[in-house]
Structure 1
Amino acid sequence: MFLKKRLSILLTIIFILSIVLPQFALAQTTQTPQTTVSDIAVIEDLAQIEMRIYGEVKDDSLLNRVELLEKELVGRTLPGILKDRVKQLKDFIVTGTPEEPSLSFKVNSAQWTLQDKITDDPLKVKIEELELTIFGELSEEVLAMRAERIFSVCFPEGKPNIQEITIPAGTLIPVVLLESIGSKKSDDGDIFEYQIAEDFVYAGSIIVPKNTIARGEVLKAKKASILLKKGKLEVDFKSIEALDGTNIRLVMGEASEEENSRLGIAIGASIAGLIILSNPIGLVAGALIPGKNVTLKEGTKIYLEVANDTKVLSLVPVS
């Protein structure tokens, strides 16, 4: 009797396991896979490409976004897995080589040749504006063909001399404000425009043409107070776009701080960008005088510097 009871319990356990174990194994094989570093890189690269072409990140599935880019650029979808297709798009639009410069380099070089500046508009907008300037009408061809046609008009003798160079961190770049900002005038989060004051040339090559426009952000604006507290303005100049489309991060560092001190601007380095402090006026004849607000007026020239060693494709001027 005891043996029969144990046998019954054993059979019950086996029956339960025969049901549970397959379900557990199925759950293990069908659970959602974790996102890998490679997956994140693909998503980030795709967003960078869309920002470069459209000025915004599209709200759709990854596959649909890739196919839209491919059709707009070359008129058809490309073969291969998604990761490889995104890499091809990035190489074509962003990276490029001296032998075959990127779409960004071609469009920016053409814009500089015609307009003596590079704007921060999306490539699609730049192509349309250049077509209207050169041909007086918009083309219905794919973006790659339209950019190539514009490039060939601006450089009729063929591809210009292009070389890859690395700009060392700390290299100074003069910029000019295109609008006024200040501790009293500005608010946290305000966006302002500035431009390169002169051609940024390194090792004999043009990296960023004069008048190239970029945008910075006011991180913190604090008004001066009646209690002699100084006005404070914390600013991030973010980055400037090179000819090849590379974003060159600009910051306030030791070299640029020293150069700016010669211009009479009291600027202190900070992690995000720079902090500008006004000088307190102090007490006069026993009266409490308000602290002084700081203002950087439109047209003010200051020096920034390259944050990190940055590799770019540059244009070698014809001698």
Structure 2
Amino acid sequence: MIRKNLCGLLVGAAMLCLLFSSCAAAGPEDGKSDSVLMMERIETIIYGEPSKGGLVERLNGIERELFGRSLPGSIAERHAAILNFLETGTEEQPSMLFKVGVAEWILSKNIHASRPALRRLETLESDMDGDLQYGKPVAMRVERILAMLVSDPVTFRQVTLPGATVLKLRFMEELSPAKSQKGDKVRLALTDDLVVDGCLIAPRGSLLDTTVREVKKPKAFGVPGEVRLDFNALVPLGPQRLGVVTGEASKKAAEDASKRGEKGEGAIIGAGAASLAGAALLGPVGLIGGLFVRGNSIRIPEGSVTFVQTSDDVTVSAYPIPESLRVDPGTAIRQTVDEASEAEPAPDPAPAAPADKDIIIKRDRPGKPSQPAKAPKPSGGGAFELPPEQQVD
């Protein structure tokens, strides 16, 4: 009897250990609190990596960097206010990252989305007049750059991007089974501006959030290696990420590009693209598309291109391009997405443009007019508003 009771106690203790272990595994990442994780996220956006030191000290430093002073409220409220300022914006003002992206696009028709925000701002200042505004609040520095580039305030408008819109992407680094590891981020950048109804949704250089899902290294006796990628979402100017899949439209785009010989700096990766044996697009899985690469020495070189398509209709915040910055329609590919109507015949397609001038231009569907957002007050070259206090659940 004693032996049975002892065995029962030991089994119960073992189950408790397993329970505590599973609870610990389900906790915050690496045992970090939500406040620490939010702080690291903010620092990564601004500096490219987390800083060291106490949480309050780092938070005060970030607020001085951005606004020149500390914000009111609890630590959670201050974190939320900073993230809203950086990524989301308000009903009247787009986010800081939105504004930095617009400034880069106006200046060079390309954005550097993989760089930290502070480095992007310093590059803009250097390219504009070489006067780096060290010591001044970042928010004020951004408004100064915009005032130099455009006369009107940078605002946004809500537009509808149709599903099955094809996006062309370029690999910004080499990919191979030998070098990749599960969880790695892979940089794929948009090759063309994504424009709807005269509004810029995502400039050239916008990143597709891509993750290595699985890696199998090459083995002995000729067993090939494998890499599987997840294409998660395109990161546009606004806060709404665009879900993508690898459906029939993107497969056809890859096939057509391969037939035309548009290999660019690398190869066309996709269905029917024989230039890279062993690579094939995965079909859509929910809102996720992906890429499967298999082989011993096969690699995807930097500069290779692939295609995805948007998964569903989505309403996004976009930059209404002023007339002075709009592209000549004769140098753009115009894709009409109006629903077919017997009373209103479809317009003739515009002639194809050179590959280096491809700009995706679309119009909203009938019955879904784009609604302009409230115009913000003119920034006046240096004036800026602090983010409002945030309600935190």
- TM above 0.5, yes or no, is yes
Please tell me whether the aligned partners of residues 239 and 247 of structure 1 are also in contact (alpha carbons under 8 angstroms): no
Asked whether 1:276 is paired with 2:292, we answer yes
How much does 1:97 deviate?
3.2
Residues in 1 aligned to 2:47 and 2:235: alpha-carbon distance in whole angstroms: 16
Residues in 2 aligned to 1:169 and 1:48: alpha-carbon distance in whole angstroms: 30
Post-superposition Cα deviations, 1:254-275, rounded to whole Å, max 9, x if no partner, equal 3466436635142224877524
- Name the residue aligned to 1:96: 89
Q: 1:144 to 1:257 in 2, by over 3 A?
A: closer
Kindly report which structure 2 residues correspond to 1:165-314, keeping only aligned pairs within 5 A, or say none: 165=159, 167=161, 171-183=165-177, 186-188=179-181, 192-212=186-206, 216-218=210-212, 219-220=214-215, 222-223=217-218, 232-237=226-231, 239-244=233-238, 246=239, 248=241, 251-255=244-248, 258-259=251-252, 262=255, 264-265=272-273, 266-269=280-283, 274-277=290-293, 294-306=298-310, 312-314=316-318
Alpha carbon RMSD of aligned pairs, Å? 3.6
Q: 1:214 to 1:132 in 2, by over 3 A?
A: farther
Deviates more, 1:98-107 or 1:139-148: 98-107
Asked whether 1:135 is paired with 2:151, we answer no
- Name the residue aligned to 2:320: 316
Please tell me whether the aligned partners of residues 240 and 249 of structure 1 are also in contact (alpha carbons under 8 angstroms): yes
Give unpaired runs (5+ residues) of structure 1.
Answer: 1-34, 279-290
Residues in 2 aligned to 1:256 and 1:186: alpha-carbon distance in whole angstroms: 31
Normalised TM-score (structure 1):
0.68
SS in 1 for 2:169: strand
Residues in 1 aligned to 2:197 and 2:307: alpha-carbon distance in whole angstroms: 19
How much does 1:77 deviate?
1.2
Please tell me whether the aligned partners of residues 187 and 221 of structure 1 are also in contact (alpha carbons under 8 angstroms): no
SS in 1 for 2:170: strand
SS in 1 for 2:241: strand
How much does 1:236 deviate?
3.6
Q: 1:270 to 1:226 in 2, by over 3 A?
A: farther
Structure whose residues are more often helix by fraction: 1
Match of 2:63, as an amino acid?
Answer: E
Please tell me whether the aligned partners of residues 180 and 227 of structure 2 are also in contact (alpha carbons under 8 angstroms): no
Residues in 2 aligned to 1:164 and 1:49: alpha-carbon distance in whole angstroms: 26
Residues in 1 aligned to 2:163 and 2:41: alpha-carbon distance in whole angstroms: 23
SS in 2 for 1:176: strand
Residues in 2 aligned to 1:46 and 1:302: alpha-carbon distance in whole angstroms: 35
Kindly report which structure 2 residues correspond to 1:34-73, keeping only aligned pairs within 5 A, or say none: 44-73=37-66
- Name the residue aligned to 2:327: none
Deviates more, 1:233-242 or 1:90-99: 233-242
How much does 1:87 deviate?
2.4
Residues in 2 aligned to 1:298 and 1:232: alpha-carbon distance in whole angstroms: 18
How much does 1:310 deviate?
6.2
How much does 1:138 deviate?
1.4
Match of 2:82, as an amino acid?
Answer: L
Post-superposition Cα deviations, 1:1-26, rounded to whole Å, max 9, x if no partner, equal xxxxxxxxxxxxxxxxxxxxxxxxxx
Q: 1:130 to 1:221 in 2, by over 3 A?
A: farther
Please tell me whether the aligned partners of residues 195 and 213 of structure 1 are also in contact (alpha carbons under 8 angstroms): yes
Match of 1:72, as an amino acid?
Answer: E
SS in 2 for 1:118: coil
Post-superposition Cα deviations, 1:209-234, rounded to whole Å, max 9, x if no partner, equal 1234567454425448755x565331
Q: 1:264 to 1:222 in 2, by over 3 A?
A: farther
Larger C-alpha radius of gyration, 1 or 2?
A: 1
Please tell me whether the aligned partners of residues 186 and 221 of structure 1 are also in contact (alpha carbons under 8 angstroms): no
How much does 1:198 deviate?
0.9
Q: 1:299 to 1:85 in 2, by over 3 A?
A: closer
Kindly report which structure 2 residues correspond to 1:145-160, keeping only aligned pairs within 5 A, or say none: 145-155=140-150, 157-160=151-154
Q: 1:249 to 1:225 in 2, by over 3 A?
A: farther
Normalised TM-score (structure 2):
0.57
Deviates more, 1:188-197 or 1:80-89: 188-197
Deviates more, 1:173-182 or 1:107-116: 173-182
- Name the residue aligned to 1:144: 139
Residues in 2 aligned to 1:162 and 1:182: alpha-carbon distance in whole angstroms: 40
Please tell me whether the aligned partners of residues 72 and 142 of structure 1 are also in contact (alpha carbons under 8 angstroms): yes
Deviates more, 1:117-126 or 1:302-311: 302-311
Residues in 2 aligned to 1:42 and 1:199: alpha-carbon distance in whole angstroms: 36
Q: 1:224 to 1:209 in 2, by over 3 A?
A: farther
- Name the residue aligned to 2:343: none
Residues in 1 aligned to 2:45 and 2:199: alpha-carbon distance in whole angstroms: 24
Residues in 1 aligned to 2:314 and 2:50: alpha-carbon distance in whole angstroms: 25
Match of 2:318, as an amino acid?
Answer: S
